[in-house]
Structure 1
Amino acid sequence: MTTPTIKDISGRRIIDSRGLWTLEVELRLSNGSRAWASVPQGKSVGSYEAVCVDERDALRALESVIDPAVRGFRAGDQQEFDERLIALDGTTRKERLGANTTLALSWAYARASAISQGRHLWEYLADLADTDPDFPQLYANLINGGLHAPNDLDIQEYLVIPRERDPEKATDIVLKMYHALREVLVAQKGACGGLVGDEGGFGPDFRDNLEPLQFFSLVAREVGVEQSVSFGLDIAANSLFMEEDELNHLIDEACDTYPVNYLEDPFREDAFEAFAALTQRRGGQARIAGDDLTTTNLERMKRAHKERSINTMIVKPNQIGTVTETLEAIEHARAYGWQVIVSHRSGETTDDAIADLAFAVGADGIKLGAPARGERTAKYNRLLLLARQFRKKD
């Protein structure tokens, strides 16, 4: 059977969950298969992330640079396709074409290749990565702060983490927490208690940075899931004006008072030594995760590994710009003995590829926001569908 080839690509502007323009790409194959992909955008962006360009520049690059260079390229060779995109860009951080452009194309190519082979996206990705699919823990951001909500919280994300890995059971726990939390917040803080931030979590004002954890504990007891969940914090320290000793005090108080076992970006993006000290001190009980520290970038990862800065890494495909480079980062993280957590961005679309990715590589977790707003629920619903498909496959 003849391997299909790329017939053409096209792009268009769409709006993301924050009401900003972003990019969607359609890729068509010679056998009639077609696939779409759209890309998210972050608000708290690490300095070492690949560069995203204006979507109008991305569309011009698609038409004038990329389309002529990839027409006729065969489907199913993800690494070579992505390497061609990287070569066309010719910069270390995708400054010419933009990581948003290359990632949208890379995902669309992966989807079209999977469709042409009669496979699910997760099957295609698992084959590329040579991994055993498994369902990740859910990291649900139920209270938003920092740059993600117009409130007085310094910490960016307050996460509920069900211990259960079955997507339906875990989602049920998140839903119980979410709805009960809304009732309690509205009852105690008035109508503003139901306001939501960028990732669907609640975003009213709080007394201090630890009060959200107090509400989590209250609600977990109320709905009977106290033994079934732990809590996490994405401190996003790049966005804070706090010294390391202040941050350490805040972390100690949170971990000693509440069942907090996940700490993401507890210090600024170049504070490798501070990360390492925290990992040595609390890494036996908590996942110390790098996001702005590592930016899904092999060079940053190598330094973090050398300095023993973290035991967990956030994976955001748009930080690096292609499926192949994302899978390479995951492979290296595993080799370093780190846990891997695939993550959405604050400015999301309804594209659900990260759910397939997290399942395909057997990620330890997936950050997907609250179970509200369509761009967040798309990821929950994709995991629920994968669970049903996988059970039938067995």
Structure 2
Amino acid sequence: MSTPTQNDAIVSVRAQQIIDCKCRPAVEVVVRTASGAVGRGAAPTGTSVGMHEAYVLRDGDPSSYQGLSVHKAVRHVNEDIAQAITGLNVFDQRGIDQRMIELDGTPDKRRLGGNAIYSASIAVFRAAADARRIPLYEHLAGGPIATVPVPCFNVINGGKYAGHTQAFNEFLIVPYGTDTVDHAVEMAVAIFHKLSEVITAHTGKKPEVASSYGYAAPSDDPEVLLDLMQRAIDQCGLSGRVAFALDCASSEFYDAATRTYLLKGQRVSSAQLIDYARQLTEKYPMVFIEDLLDENDWDGYQTAVKAIPRTLILGDDLTVTKLAFLEKAHTMKAVHGFVLKPNQVGTITEALDAYAFANSHQLIAVPSGRSGGVVDDVVMDLSVGLQVPFQKNGAPRSGERIEKLNFLMRASAQYPGCRLHDIRPLLRFA
């Protein structure tokens, strides 16, 4: 790695409002250094947002984007953050992130906006890589990469539909039975297209496109959906090479007053939901189950890890990419891993600290974009640079999700011998 010089000083920090893939306003920041290096960063937003995430500052003006504009956050970058980090060395990511955290002064980055701070943090990270004239993932990896992660595809989306509510948020396919990412993508695309035919045959009409670009769930019964997915896999001749995963996002349908969850139109207890998930893992090849329980149900997660041996239990809203939460999860043995979403915590440094702890304590990190994504999501650089086993990519539809797949294929092609990560040692159903 080259030694930082005065040419690596930040000389310009500018922000503006852009829109994400759902046409919701987002903050984009461009950082420039004295050497001419440039980095750009934009903060995505999620549909399922945990209460412990960094605060997304929006204007609240109903006359502009229904109150979702981010001009306040943009102004904080241009006036406050720019003044605070201009002149700092672009390679001092930790120092720059800490400066912004201290400038904000709130636990959840509420004053300046987590979206403002995070976008600036990414822009600095990218400018440092540009200063070295290498891809960001190689800057992060410290050299050439040997593997790219197995992409996991969200093909059926839960939610409220006419006549039923599917409580589980995402039904995913995981094409692991190959050694190239190109083939994994081809397998997933074939299954996704076949699944449309399978759902049409099942319901008598073409499936709707859901808000996260998968197919709208045609049933409130998870087993019906998993059976349809298995049928598509079988008809593509890919049996035994593609597994499943679930993102339950159970906080969305949790009733704190009764401490119950929605499942197939009924309210069930934490114990009942855990037992149902256990039954699913005994019937289907399940790589992981994410957010099985409410974001504050630590005891429930601890129980789930003991009760469900045939899959990985991952935290997302539970852990929100925060080091303190991961330390608690490790101590309690509440999860086998976590979903890595850097904008949840608000800076690259904090996200990498969370990853480092997880990695050193045998907790799996699964990078994921957000439903309101952007094309150049830094999550892809983290996925490749950290050499993780698998990542969440969304449905193989819509521009920024397709770009994530192309990113993996391009990265793999850059390095002779680069292969798809072999996740078979992690599979608990095998």
TM-score by length of 1: 0.93
Deviates more, 1:97-106 or 1:324-333: 97-106
Pairing partner for 1:56 from 71, 85, 88: 71
What does residue 211 of structure 2 align with? 198
What does residue 67 of structure 2 align with? none
What does residue 106 of structure 1 align with? 121
The answer (yes or no) to whether the contact 1:133–1:360 under 8 Å persists in 2 is: no
What does residue 233 of structure 1 align with? 246
What does residue 19 of structure 1 align with? 23
Amino acid at match of 2:236: V
**Alignment RMSD (CA, Å):** 2.2
Secondary structure of the 1:156 match is: strand
Structure richer in helix, relative to its length? 1
Query: How far apart in 1 are the matches of 2:148 and 2:418?
Result: 15
Deviation at 1:265? Answer: 0.9
Matches for 1:313-392 after TM superposition, within 5 Å: 313-391=338-416
Matches for 1:114-263 after TM superposition, within 5 Å: 114-127=129-142, 134-146=147-159, 152-163=165-176, 164=178, 166-193=180-207, 195-206=208-219, 208-241=221-254, 242=261, 243-263=269-289
Query: How far apart in 2 are the matches of 1:313 and 1:203?
Result: 26
Secondary structure of the 1:370 match is: coil
Deviates more, 1:85-94 or 1:252-261: 252-261
What does residue 42 of structure 1 align with? 46
Secondary structure of the 2:334 match is: coil
Distance change (3 Å), C-alpha of 1:124 and 1:220: same
Amino acid at match of 2:171: Y
Deviation at 1:8? Answer: 1.1
Deviation at 1:216? Answer: 1.0
The answer (yes or no) to whether the contact 1:149–1:196 under 8 Å persists in 2 is: no
Query: How far apart in 1 are the matches of 2:311 and 2:297?
Result: 18
The answer (yes or no) to whether the contact 1:145–1:151 under 8 Å persists in 2 is: no
What does residue 95 of structure 2 align with? 80
Deviation at 1:385? Answer: 0.8
The answer (yes or no) to whether the contact 1:45–1:292 under 8 Å persists in 2 is: yes
Instruction: Name structure 1 gaps, 5 residues minimum.
Output: none
Deviation at 1:149? Answer: 11
Secondary structure of the 2:147 match is: coil
Query: How far apart in 2 are the matches of 1:149 and 1:280?
Result: 37
The answer (yes or no) to whether the contact 1:314–1:341 under 8 Å persists in 2 is: yes
**Fraction of identical pairs, as percent:** 30
Query: How far apart in 2 are the matches of 1:149 and 1:125?
Result: 46
Deviation at 1:332? Answer: 0.6
Query: How far apart in 1 are the matches of 2:92 and 2:362?
Result: 28
Distance change (3 Å), C-alpha of 1:3 and 1:63: same
Query: How far apart in 2 are the matches of 1:362 and 1:235?
Result: 26
The answer (yes or no) to whether the contact 1:37–1:108 under 8 Å persists in 2 is: yes
The answer (yes or no) to whether the contact 1:168–1:384 under 8 Å persists in 2 is: yes
Q: Residues 147-206 of structure 1: CA distance to partner in whole angstroms, max 9, x if unpaired?
A: 79996211000010111463212111111111111122233334441x222332111422
Instruction: Name structure 2 gaps, 5 residues minimum.
Output: 59-69, 255-260, 262-268, 420-430
Deviation at 1:343? Answer: 0.7
Amino acid at match of 2:394: G
Structure richer in strand, relative to its length? 2
What does residue 276 of structure 1 align with? 302
Distance change (3 Å), C-alpha of 1:79 and 1:245: same
Query: How far apart in 2 are the matches of 1:354 and 1:391?
Result: 23
Deviation at 1:50? Answer: 1.4
Deviation at 1:336? Answer: 1.8
What does residue 320 of structure 2 align with? 295
Q: Residues 266-304 of structure 1: CA distance to partner in whole angstroms, max 9, x if unpaired?
A: 111121121112111223x21100001111011111111
Query: How far apart in 1 are the matches of 2:367 and 2:55?
Result: 19
